[in-house]
Amino acid sequence: MTSSPVKRAFKYRFHPTDAQASELSRTFGCVRKVYNMALAARTEAWARQERVNYNATSAMLTAWKKTDELAYLNAVSSVPLQQALRHLQSAFVGFFAKRAAYPRFKSRKRSRKSAEYTTSAFRFRDGLLTLAKMAEPLDIVWSRPIPEKATPSTVTVSQDSAGRWFVSLLCDDPSVKPLPASDAGIGIDVGLDHLLTLSTGEKVANPRHERRDRARLARAQRELCRKAKGDGANRRKARRKVAKIHARIADRRRDHLHKLTTRLVRDNQTLVIEDLTVRNMVKNRSLARAISDVAWAEFRGLLEYKAAWYGREVIAVDRFFPSSRLCSHCGALAERMPLSVRIWTCESCGSTHDRDVNAAKNLLAAGLAVSVCGAGVRPQRRIPGGPPARKQKPSQRKP
């Protein structure tokens, strides 16, 4: 039995002409307007204890286009507007399933500028992509090839806060196949001094991407603060300068994490990590900048979807598991372990441990126990994609 090809997005940068940039900016504004109006209508209906689905909002869009006030919606392609309504429907499905918070309105300044086109609204032939309402193809920088004979099912055009334009092509990628199974497993302990510490004893240095540009970023932010508030040209240029520095930092960080997670997934069948609540951890003002720079949440997300691609298993151990205080040699538990203690000696067996390597070994042991015995082994929780969790019987639960 052969598995279906993996849907994969291939993202490229492109340089639009003035006419194309104007058309896309107009489309972004209309997409945001339709999304916000549909969200307002559904919110009002929700207050009346009524539900409005996608079909109802689609009928509303048709009526809005016929009014004089919103007639400008007819100037852009209707496909991105319909896709915005579908995205809103997906957001409400996630909310009703208790997987996500209530949908929020899109801001003109802070929300992501994007528009999605389906096959009826673009033409892709001989490496040339032409969108609806445009006479010329986009000038795309093909930094890597797409799968041979691949036909995009959707095309998403976006512009980031630094003013860069991107196009994402969603295609079937037959090259992504499960790797041969192996017995290799690894425990991964994340940190700030070192980005990762592996149960093999390897330590991956923390590149500290933000620190390299901290002085330049601080100078650009001071220049922005001195500009008069409003929509003036000088303030827009200063804001764009700050955004470019942030984008350069994020690009370096993402590139490093992609290379690192790809290596870990290809070399190991089972990968065990710690289930950290990064959102709560960044509330610590002393460590917030450092925690944000290492991007633990992004690392975990990349690890999970690549493991799903290649048939690997990712297990997250409960955050309250005392991986640092537990002796990986004899299993004795130390009473206290301040963060300043990096090397410690077990009082029971006399083994000397590196704090982070010891934690990674304990995570691996706990993860392998979960993989063999099921999710009923405490403390841990299973990452989606693995076997279903096995609930504990009342008699097995601790009082």
- Residues assigned a catalytic role: 189, 274, 356
Cα Rg of the chain (Å, integer)? 25
The residue with tokens 């048709």 is 62
84 CB-contact burial (10 Å; exposed 0-12 / middle 13-18 / buried 19+): buried
CA dist 98 and 104 (Å) reads 15
Query: 301: Cβ–Cβ under 8 A, 6 or more apart, which residues?
Result: none
Q: Which two tokens stand for residue 299?
A: 């690392």
CA dist 162 and 241 (Å) reads 7
Asked if 243 and 163 touch (Cβ cutoff 8 Å), the reply is: yes
Residue among 202, 336, 342 nearest 267 (CA): 202
CA dist 236 and 76 (Å) reads 26
Q: What is the DSSP string of 122-175?
A: EEEETTEEEETT-SS---EE--SPPPTT---SEEEEEE-TTS-EEEEEEEEETT
Residue among 159, 133, 155, 158 nearest 146 (CA): 155
Residue among 194, 197, 189, 243 nearest 221 (CA): 243
CA dist 388 and 263 (Å) reads 27
CA dist 348 and 350 (Å) reads 6
CA dist 40 and 35 (Å) reads 9
Pairing label, strands 313-317, 270-274? parallel
